[in-house]
Amino acid sequence: NAGVTQTPKFQVLKTGQSMTLQCAQDMNHNSMYWYRQDPGMGLRLIYYSASEGTTDKGEVPNGYNVSRLNKREFSLRLESAAPSQTSVYFCASSPTAGAGELFFGEGSRLTVL
């Protein structure tokens, strides 16, 4: 019972490098989300996809892009990483945009030097 799977779990980048965080869910959920978690800031929404084919900005979208590849997969791309993007990233999914419970992945810890 995998639920929400994120890869990689850990990554170290140099400033200016690019990378993509992958997220996949096997629960047939319609909605998917990317959050970042920083000490003292809680979880902040980066981007979300209410349904396949749609994506929208969240609270802190700058420096990120997303792709809803299909119903299962929602990737987050950093085109030119900056030290301010050092964080733990969480992918989540929910059955529909109106369903309150989010199911989270284990997180991806990214360090940008």
Partner 1 sequence: AQRVTQPEKLLSVFKGAPVELKCNYSYSGSPELFWYVQYSRQRLQLLLRHISRESIKGFTADLNKGETSFHLKKPFAQEEDSAMYYCALRPFYNQGGKLIFGQGTELSVKP
CB nearer to partner 1: give 63 or 107. Answer: 107
Question: Is 5:103 a contact under the CB 8 Å cutoff?
Answer: no
| Nearest C-alpha neighbor of 78 from the set 90, 92, 66 | 66
Which residues contribute to the site for partner 1 (CB under 8 A)?
4, 31, 33, 35, 40-45, 48, 50, 56, 58, 90, 92, 94, 96-102, 104-107
Taking the complex as a whole, how short is the minimal distance between the CB of residue 104 and partner 1, in angstroms?
4
Taking the complex as a whole, how short is the minimal distance between the CB of residue 16 and partner 1, in angstroms?
30
Sheet holding 19-25, edge to edge: 4-7, 19-25, 74-78, 64-68
Taking the complex as a whole, how short is the minimal distance between the CB of residue 19 and partner 1, in angstroms?
22
CB nearer to partner 1: give 14 or 40. Answer: 40
- Cα gap 94→15, rounded to integer Å: 33
